[in-house]
Amino acid sequence: MMIPILILVPFLASLFVPFLYTYVRSKKIGWMVLPVPLILFVILSFQIPKLASGENLFYTIRWLNAADIHFTTHLDGLSMILGLLITGMGTLVVMYSIYYLSEREALGRFYMYLLLFMGSMLGVVFSDNVLVLYVFWELTSVSSFLLIAFWHQRKNSRAGAKKAMLITVTGGIGMLVGFLMLHQMTGTYSIQEMIGMAEMLSTNELFIPAMLLILLGAFTKSAQFPFHIWLPDAMEAPTPVSAYLHSATMVKAGIYLVARFIPVFGESEIWFYSVTFVGLLTLLWGSFNAVRQNDLKALLAYSTISQLGLIMSLLGIGSAAMLDIPGSDKTIYTAAAFAGLFHLINHSTFKGALFMIIGIVDHELGTRDIRKLGGLAVFMPITFTIALAGSFSMAGLPPFNGFLSKELFLEASLAVQHLALPGVHIWIPIVAWVASVFTFVYCMIIVFQTFFGRQQQQPAWVDRGAHDPRPGMLVAPFILGGLIVGLFFFPNVLGKWILKPAMAAIYPSFVNPESLVPHIAAWHGLNPALWMTIGIILIGTILYIFLRQWRRIYTIAPFSWKIDNIYALLLIQLEGNSYHLTNKYMTGHLHRYFTYILLFFIAMMGIALSFVWRLAFDFSEDSVVTVNEYILVMVMMSAALAILFVNSRLIAILLNGVLGFTVAFLFVVLRAPDLALTQIVVETVTTVLFLLTFRFMPDWKKERPRRSVKILNAFIAVASGLIVIITALMVQGNRLFDPISEYFEDAKTLTGGGNIVNAILGDFRAFDTMLEIVVLLIGGLGVYVLIKLKHKKDGDGNENQ
Amino acid sequence: MKINDVILRTVTKIVVFIILTFGVELFISGHNDPGGGFSGGLVLASALLLLYMTYDIETVHKGIPFDFKKIAGLGVFLAVASSAVPMLFNNQFLNQAKGDFALPVFGVTELSMVLLFEAGVALTVVGVVVTILLTISEDVS
């Protein structure tokens, strides 16, 4: 029960924040939000010993038995890592944001979105049912959209938000299809049950498509090449958001998904190749592009892309342990997945710290352009120290945690030599090494171009009062800085308590989880990995020194390519074509729309009828038609016919009313008072609507349509009428399914309600009713928005800044 | 031209209360007799429409200062939330619980969760119908 509540708490909190904000209109609101992630973090931490002893926490809240969709939560080692990151980073980011955002911002909205995100992200990692997972997955995209566009008056914010949304949601829908395919294969929506059936899946013809679609979801979310383009644009968000969503948590969702599905898909070579090589390509492209950035935040964005690629490729190499390769020791591959998880945590610490530091620099000096910055070390010593720790950790230097996971990464890239697969043993180490060199270079750019050199600028900083920010703002990056160093000295604590259960979750088929957790040591002899690191430092330093000389290559063809252009082109094409197409059929003529609707009805019902074509009409059980009913039907028919021949709109409306009220009478005669009542009131309300709009309608002109249109109209009229009659008659004579009327006869005992109509509406088919009123609400809001916005169209003055 | 509508106004004042009472009666009795959330809500909405037609929007708004969009939203929230409540007690979504309660004045009465659900339906219907008609009438006037 605990985990569902954990997921629910941020959602409830996010509901209350706007109300709270109307009373507390100051920064205090942040302090009130802060306990939410903090308490969640503490509660989660208390579960660590339980998980370390090999336990898993399952809890199911049954939702829909008929559809097999339940809110099943599952806390194991893997979701624990993400859960701790989400709540832990959440605490730090909320704390940081209290000082970062000024009181003039819409703080209520900000924290509402942030908590919404926190809840949906917890939902993603704790859900075991794939459909529930999907819903939370898309909710993270939506809350990310809202947070990127937090400063929605800026054009770039809106464009960035739209881009992120379009790309991640497209991937999400692909993933949904993948999930449905998996359901088709396994007959279950539970991930754990799918893992249990993994062995029989690989021969299924849906196996590969399902895998690729799920990977599409993971790659778009985790900004893998070529879908990485949304991440740099997402940097328009306030810095706390970038630190939280776009480096520490949301972009890790794709990595989580890949790790989660390794037991299902790991046996396939296609999985190994796509995850590993997409990861490596992302790593290379991201680090290569990070070097050319001038905006510190954009640099960090590309570095995040590259680091995500690194983790992804590690998981890919790790999945090689599932491949059916005889002989070799599998633990050299599981060590790669171990390194991936380790780096996942390390990346959150150092990248979170760096984002916060950049935020501080931007906050204090009003710029984050490295061409304008320089020499800040003297003015901001504490900030500088944390930045140094973060960057050197990212570059893979001791004594910081990044060094440990980087060494493990290099070892893993060499370990694939033992894998007898084509194209693996040369390319993986080379790409890993080259990308690491670029990583080293951009890490040096962060430290040296921001905090050293350019002495001539120092007087300017004195004028602008450059100094370390208030202590409160430094607390969060300082804690992360402490972790960066702490994890270097005590990595095996993390390995034992957190990573071991996670490894057991990734490799459930390995009986001995102890063998999955290698001992991490800072000094591991002069092995090839260390030589590679030394090479990285040497070449990296040389490249950094001569940066100005070789930077020109970014203007040469394949290096200057931007995938953004493809996105922009596709978007323009899509918008243009959709506009064109929609204009073709949305002509504004009601007649046209009725034609579409009825033709669709005729086609669908015609196909359905032709499949069950048994013209067995059975009148034996029909009751006798009375004179009253004949008369009422006659009145209806003559009213309907008369509408065709009148020449005034008023009379037509009146006749339509006659028709409606006669139907109501017919209901009375047939003893259906509920329907009669509803029909009468609906008829009344419709008449009021007519009265409102009556004098604005154009003159009633008799149309003289062409012959072909007339024939089509006649066909539609006759065909729809016939289909309705045939269907009604056939229903009596054919029993395709078991009758459900026995439910209705027992309505009183089943539901307690004596009125069958309401027993159906409120109980038997309550799901329909619930969704219908949702549709009703959407329809009502649609009318409201369409009419109200029509007037405001001219008045968007300050929209595009 | 000023229309003399004294009779309409006088009649409305009385009739509205009869219709409103009827709407509530329909809503409550829907459990065992004709009525229910949808028709009850429609009748309530039609009473409001009569008020809006007889007097003008501003006058009615002074008396009934509700934002009907929010009422519709509240209705949907009520219906969905009351559907989810059974899940907290290990029942399925939309499982409508019921029970007999000894109440003062009414005696032993059967109360059911479906009442909340139907209340949500009724509020949505009222909210949406009034919103649509008010929006359109504000647009044309």
- Predicted-complex ipTM score: 0.90
**Lowest-confidence range among A339-353, A380-394, A449-463?**
A449-463
Which among A61, A682, A773 is the nearest to B87, CB-wise? A61
- Indicate the pairing of strand A69-75 with strand B98-103: unpaired
Same-domain pairing of A49 and A145: yes
What's residue A455's pLDDT?
60
Residue A205 lies in a domain: no
Residue B1 lies in a domain: no
Q: Which two tokens stand for residue B120?
A: 């949500």
Unique residue bearing structure tokens 């409830």: A12
What's residue A66's pLDDT?
77
Residue A354 lies in a domain: yes
User: Is A563 a residue whose pLDDT tops 90?
Assistant: no
User: Is A13 a residue whose pLDDT tops 50?
Assistant: yes
Residue pair A73/A127 in contact (Cβ under 8 Å)? The answer is yes
Residue pair A118/A12 in contact (Cβ under 8 Å)? The answer is no
Residue pair A435/A396 in contact (Cβ under 8 Å)? The answer is no
Q: Which of A504, A539, A555 delimits the end of a domain?
A: A555
Axis crossing angle, helix A471-489 with helix A401-415, rounded to the nearest 10: 50
Q: What is the mean pLDDT of residues A583-587?
A: 87
Residue B87 lies in a domain: yes
SS3 A493: helix
> Burial of B16 by CB count in 10 Å (0-12 exposed, 13-18 middle, 19+ buried)?
middle
Whether A709 contacts chain B with CB within 8 A = no
Unique residue bearing structure tokens 């109300």: A19
**Lowest-confidence range among A194-198, A259-263, A322-326, A564-568?**
A322-326
Residue-wise pLDDT for A407-425, tens only, equals 889 888 888 877 777 777 7
Residue-wise pLDDT for B5-64, tens only, equals 888 888 988 999 999 999 999 888 877 787 788 888 999 998 998 888 888 888 888 888
Whether B128 contacts chain A with CB within 8 A = yes
State which residues form the domain around B30.
Answer: 6-140
What's residue A130's pLDDT?
93
Unique residue bearing structure tokens 């054919």: A734
Whether A673 contacts chain B with CB within 8 A = yes
DSSP element (H, E) containing A69: strand A69-75
Which residues, 6 or more positions from A224, have their beta carbon under 8 angstroms from its beta carbon? A218, A254, A278, A279, A282, A305, A308, A309, A312
DSSP element (H, E) containing A560: helix A557-560
Same-domain pairing of A534 and A416: yes
Domain count, chain A: 4
CB contacts < 8 A, A to B, total 154
Residue pair B38/A678 in contact (Cβ under 8 Å)? The answer is yes
Same-domain pairing of A636 and A785: no
Residue B60 lies in a domain: yes
CB neighbourhood size of A796 (10 A): 8
Residue-wise pLDDT for A77-103, tens only, equals 899 999 999 999 999 999 999 988 888
Same-domain pairing of A256 and A300: no
Q: Which two tokens stand for residue A147?
A: 């947070």
Residue A622 is given by DSSP the state P
Residue A438 lies in a domain: yes
What's residue A705's pLDDT?
79
Give the Cα separation of A145 and A165 in Å (integer).
Answer: 6
Which among B42, B76, B117 is the nearest to A774, CB-wise? B76
Residue A648 lies in a domain: yes
CB-based contact B136 A689, cutoff 8 Å: yes
Residue A274 lies in a domain: yes
User: Is A801 a residue whose pLDDT tops 70?
Assistant: no
Give the Cα separation of A81 and A21 in Å (integer).
Answer: 32
Q: What is the mean pLDDT of residues A387-407?
A: 90
Taking contacts as CB-CB distances below 8 angstroms, the residues of chain B near A696 are: 140
Residue-wise pLDDT for B102-134, tens only, equals 777 766 767 777 888 889 999 999 999 999 888
Same-domain pairing of A350 and A427: yes
Mean pLDDT computed over every residue of chain A: 86
Q: Which chain B residue shows the shortest CA-CA distance from A781? A: B69
Give the Cα separation of A459 and A466 in Å (integer).
Answer: 10
What is the DSSP annotation of A752-801? S-S-HHHHIIIIITHHHHHHHHHHHHHHHHHHHHHHHHHHHGGG-TTS--
Taking contacts as CB-CB distances below 8 angstroms, the residues of chain B near A689 are: 132-133, 136
Residue A72 lies in a domain: yes
Domain count, chain B: 1
Give the Cα separation of A342 and A307 in Å (integer).
Answer: 12
Q: Which two tokens stand for residue A597?
A: 């609707």
Residue A47 lies in a domain: yes
Same-domain pairing of A256 and A274: no
Probe site for chain B from A681, A757, A789, A791 (most B CB atoms < 10 A): A681
User: Is A780 a residue whose pLDDT tops 90?
Assistant: yes
Residue B37 lies in a domain: yes
Considering only CA atoms, which of A21, A170, A45, A35 is closest in space to residue A106?
A21
Question: What is the distance of C-alpha A434 from the center of its chain?
Answer: 32
What's residue A797's pLDDT?
46
Residue pair A34/A91 in contact (Cβ under 8 Å)? The answer is yes
User: Is B1 a residue whose pLDDT tops 60?
Assistant: no
CB neighbourhood size of A535 (10 A): 13
Bridge partner residues of A129 (DSSP): A190
Give the Cα separation of B138 and B94 in Å (integer).
Answer: 38
Give the Cα separation of A256 and A340 in Å (integer).
Answer: 11
Which residues, 6 or more positions from A769, have their beta carbon under 8 angstroms from its beta carbon? A761, A762, B79, B117, B121
Q: How far is A758 from chain B, CA to nearest CA, in Å?
A: 6
Q: What is the mean pLDDT of residues A159-185?
A: 93
User: Is A668 a residue whose pLDDT tops 70?
Assistant: yes
Same-domain pairing of A479 and A332: yes
Give the Cα separation of A398 and A401 in Å (integer).
Answer: 7
In three-state form (DSSP H/G/I as H, E/B as E, the rest C), the secondary structure along chain B is: CCCCCHHHHHHHHHHHHHHHHHHHHHHHHCCCCCCCHHHHHHHHHHHHHHHHHHCCHHHHHHHCCCCHHHHHHHHHHHHHHHHHHHHHCCCCCCCCCEEEEEECCCEEEEEECHHHHHHHHHHHHHHHHHHHHHHHHHHHC
Whether B129 contacts chain A with CB within 8 A = yes
Same-domain pairing of A252 and A279: no
Q: What percent of chain A has pLDDT over 90?
A: 37
Q: Which residue has the higher pLDDT, A621 or B6?
A: B6
User: Is B141 a residue whose pLDDT tops 70?
Assistant: no
Same-domain pairing of A666 and A694: yes
Same-domain pairing of A463 and A370: yes
Same-domain pairing of A752 and A728: no
Taking contacts as CB-CB distances below 8 angstroms, the residues of chain B near A767 are: 94
Q: Which of A265, A300, A325 delimits the end of a domain?
A: A265
Residue pair A757/A674 in contact (Cβ under 8 Å)? The answer is yes
User: Is A798 a residue whose pLDDT tops 60?
Assistant: no
State which residues form the domain around A705.
Answer: 590-736
What's residue A327's pLDDT?
60
Same-domain pairing of A668 and A536: no
SS3 A76: coil
Bridge partner residues of B110 (DSSP): B100
Q: How far is B26 from chain A, CA to nearest CA, in Å?
A: 10
Q: How far is A233 from chain B, CA to nearest CA, in Å?
A: 34
Residue B96 lies in a domain: yes
CB-based contact A784 B69, cutoff 8 Å: yes
Confidence bin at A41 (pLDDT 50/70/90): very high
What's residue A748's pLDDT?
74
Q: What is the mean pLDDT of residues A257-272?
A: 90
Which among B49, B87, B121 is the nearest to A769, CB-wise? B121
Taking contacts as CB-CB distances below 8 angstroms, the residues of chain B near A763 are: 94, 96, 114
Give the Cα separation of A177 and A213 in Å (integer).
Answer: 7
Taking contacts as CB-CB distances below 8 angstroms, the residues of chain A near B76 are: 773-774, 777
Considering only CA atoms, which of A186, A244, A286, A170 is closest in space to residue A574?
A170
- Amino acid, res. A378: V
What's residue A435's pLDDT?
92
Taking contacts as CB-CB distances below 8 angstroms, the residues of chain B near A789 are: none
CA dihedral angle for residue A351, residue A353, residue A359, residue A362, rounded to 10 degrees: -90
Give the Cα separation of A36 and A119 in Å (integer).
Answer: 11
CB-based contact A779 B128, cutoff 8 Å: yes
